[in-house]
A and B are shown apart, each in its own frame.
Chain A
Amino acid sequence: MRIEEEEEYGFLRANALGLAFGGLFLVTLLGQGISGTADFNAQQVANGLEPVSFAQYLTSSSFGVDVMENWQSEYLQFFLYIFATVWLVQRGSSESKEPGAEGTESDEAQKLGRHADGDSPAWARAGGWRTAVFSRSLGLLMGGLFLLTWAASSLAGWAAFNSEQLGQRQDPVSWVGYLGEAEFWNRSFQNWQSEMLAVGSMAIFSVYLRQRGSPESKPVGAAHRDTAQTG
């Protein structure tokens, strides 16, 4: 598509994918808040305790840990996938590079320094630490967000765990103590395993199956052995 046509495309259509998923995120987060409040209050009533308001639940550690434990696993998934696909290939997958192209590739292939185009980002042309950082910025951001959300998950989980401990007439634990609790690792691993399954199965399914018009798929008529094609 030519640039002139893109500029006439309008903001909404030009950003439809990001806007659609941003909206879906908010709707589903609201759904989690509503259903989570109902679930939490059912447990409160069963324990002879007072129910909480929607606002109280949204600011609770229970809601916080349920949100954070999912966020951290999503960012871990993308962080690992971004780095793994630099070095690992899957023959025939639209999610993979061609076999033989493993690694960080040449400056020419990556349009760095003197190989940069006229409209390449400034830091791709700058060289030195700027180019080094920009060359890894997507993975670094995903990895950083994973660490932040995992830390947040541990804090919210710690608070929720101690609240439950007190509700069950048991002593609270320290943050370090919570990191040694089975609950923290169970929450982490149950999210991580599902992300690894989703990524691995997508890499394999895209070898043999097609979705016409999707860039996540090869063209419908592409051979199963064709790698790195998108349609």
Chain B
Amino acid sequence: MVHACPKRRGGVIIAAGALLLTGCASAHEPEVRQVAVTFEDPSGDPEERCGLLAPATLVAFEHSESAPCADAVQDLPLDGGDVESVEIWGGDAQVKVAGDTVFLTETDAGWRITSAVCSPRAEAPYACEVDGP
């Protein structure tokens, strides 16, 4: 999904289209980056970190941990660290930090985390300890 930036339907050329796509992504990058960094910071406020999870992910996480998010989030193996890359495509985003990969979705309340503590698995999807449905 490309929400805020309408795609031209006629006369589009590759260069213009690529600029349009990257322009859309860059407008959202600061918020996406901030949400990921805040969640990944192990010294952050647990309630604030849990508030950054997408609703379905929050439910799934608390169910899998059999504990309130604010308690369980502190046990996640996260070290924080610098952002290495940000990819935003429509209403989906991916942030790679030093020791983790985080996936986000755009909601009415802003960007929220759908998956975290993710490890790559060759051609298969990332395996994520915090994950939605």
Q: Would you call B7 and A156 a contact (CB within 8 A)? A: yes
Q: Is B108 on the interface with A (CB-CB < 8 A)? A: yes
Q: Would you call A163 and B3 a contact (CB within 8 A)? A: no
Q: How many A-B residue pairs have CB under 8 A?
A: 114
> Which residues from chain A sit less than 8 Å from chain B, CB to CB?
47-50, 52, 56-62, 64, 67-68, 148, 151-152, 154-156, 158-160, 162-172, 175
In the bound complex, how far is the Cα of B105 from the Cα of A50, in angstroms? Answer: 9
Given contacts A159-B2, A169-B103, contact A48 B55 (CB under 8 A): yes
Q: Would you call B90 and A61 a contact (CB within 8 A)? A: yes
Residues of B within 8 Å of A164, CB to CB, are: 92
Given contacts A155-B17, A169-B125, contact A162 B89 (CB under 8 A): yes
**Which partner residue on chain A sits nearest B56 by CB separation?**
A48
> Which residues from chain B sit less than 8 Å from chain A, CB to CB?
1-14, 17-18, 21, 54-57, 60, 87, 89-94, 103, 105-108, 114-115, 118, 120, 125-126, 128, 131-133
In the bound complex, how far is the Cα of B114 from the Cα of A168, in angstroms? Answer: 10
The binding surface of chain A is classed by DSSP as helix
In the bound complex, how far is the Cα of B89 from the Cα of A165, in angstroms? Answer: 9
Chain A proximity of B103: nearest CB distance (Å): 6
Q: Would you call B94 and A171 a contact (CB within 8 A)? A: yes
Q: Would you call B91 and A52 a contact (CB within 8 A)? A: yes
Other contacts beyond A49-B107, A169-B126: 9, CB < 8 A: A48-B60, A49-B56, A52-B3, A59-B6, A162-B87, A163-B89, A169-B103, A172-B94, A175-B14
Chain A proximity of B133: nearest CB distance (Å): 4
In the bound complex, how far is the Cα of B91 from the Cα of A46, in angstroms? Answer: 16
Query: Which among A148, A159, A169 has the highest number of chain B CB atoms within 10 Å?
Result: A169
14 intermolecular pairs with C-beta atoms under 8 Å apart: A48-B56, A48-B132, A49-B114, A61-B2, A148-B10, A152-B9, A155-B12, A155-B17, A155-B18, A156-B7, A159-B90, A165-B89, A166-B87, A167-B105
**CB-based closest 9 A-B pairs:** A48-B56, A166-B92, A162-B89, A155-B17, A163-B90, A59-B6, A169-B125, A48-B133, A163-B89
